[in-house]
């Protein structure tokens, strides 16, 4: 028999999708920036899944890396690194980040960059889902 004490903490979940034409270049760039309006303070877990596409050019294969940042520009995830994309190839890249959220607006940003220079890679669409649990 399981027993417990105390009340369950509140939860709040969110999800949205967007199309994009952001380019990932050799300079680290915020390709996604959004704000989540949290109804209370707590721990926020954010999942990002993005569809990336290499330009249709004749350059050498290239790889890119992305990291997620929470409020105040604090790192919320380890970097995720793509495979080497050849001409006109696509890749789905996923990241999960975690941070302490304040009640009110919380900025979430995804910063990406090319690992080897060369031609650009585009973020074509993405999904963001998450959950906030109270303390």
Summarize the confidence of residues 77-89 as an average pLDDT.
89
What pTM does this model have? 0.87
Res 118: pLDDT = 67
What is the DSSP code (8-state) at residue 56?
Answer: S
pLDDT surpassing 50 at residue 3 = no
pLDDT surpassing 90 at residue 9 = no
Domain 11-108+126-134 in CATH 2.20.180: no
Res 4: pLDDT = 45
The ranges assigned to domains in the chain are 11-108+126-134
Write the pLDDT tens digit of every residue in 22-33: 988 888 999 999
Phi, psi (rounded to 5 degrees) for 106 = -130, 120
pLDDT surpassing 70 at residue 61 = yes
């Amino acid at each position: 028999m399981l027993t417990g004490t105390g009340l369950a903490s509140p939860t709040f979940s969110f999800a949205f999708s967007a199309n994009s034409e952001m380019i990932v270049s050799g300079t680290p760039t915020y390709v996604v920036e959004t704000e989540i309006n949290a109804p209370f303070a707590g721990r926020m877990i954010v999942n990002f899944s993005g569809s990336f596409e290499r330009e249709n050019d004749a350059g050498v294969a290239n790889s890119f890396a992305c990291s997620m940042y929470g409020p105040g520009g604090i790192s919320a995830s380890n970097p995720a690194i793509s495979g080497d994309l050849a001409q006109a190839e696509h890749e789905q890249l996923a990241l999960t980040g975690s941070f302490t959220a304040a009640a009110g607006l919380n900025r979430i940003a995804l910063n990406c960059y090319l690992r080897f220079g060369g031609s650009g890679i585009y973020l074509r669409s993405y999904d963001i889902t998450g959950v906030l649990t109270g303390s």
